[in-house]
Amino acid sequence: MNRSPVRHFIDPSIGCAALDLRPDDMIGDLETMRRFFVSMAVRDLRIYAEMFRGHVYHYRDGDGLEADAVIGTNDGRWAAIEVELRDSDRIEEGAKHLLRLKDKVRSDRHQEPEFLMVVTATDYAYRREDGVFVVPLGCLGP
């Protein structure tokens, strides 16, 4: 499984302060808001992954397949996560990317993923029929 480095703020509010962004600025620029939301989600995932000595990576391959976060452990366990805001079309697209990644990973070299998850800014968590979890960022936790 290829991994590529991506930089995130330890505290995404540092970036907002450096750019002098206010809440209204973020609402008017959803792409910037999405980037900070991804950083916030990755920060939280890193904290939770440390509990079981896991590491968080970004995945991107030559075919354009991408996952915002892949949690991997030394014993071969892994999970893939996409981060989307609220748009149901983007959540659907994120879930499809995760399922493509699962199918692409060679099962003879890697275990099946422990889970696939789309982290969102929605109000409630649920498991889709295809097995992908959709979970609000505020519901993540040990």
Rg of the chain's alpha carbons, rounded to an integer? 15
pLDDT tens for 43-69 read 999 999 999 899 999 988 888 888 999
Q: pLDDT averaged over the chain?
A: 88
pTM: 0.88
Number of neighbouring beta carbons within 10 Å of residue 2: 8
Q: How many residues does the chain have?
A: 142
- What domains lie within the chain, and their CATH numbers? 12-139 (3.40.1350)
Location of structure tokens 């097995």: 131
| Distance between CA atoms of residues 30 and 23, nearest Å | 11
| Distance between CA atoms of residues 79 and 115, nearest Å | 5
What's at 20, amino acid-wise?
D
Residue 68 φ/ψ, nearest 5 degrees:
-65, -30
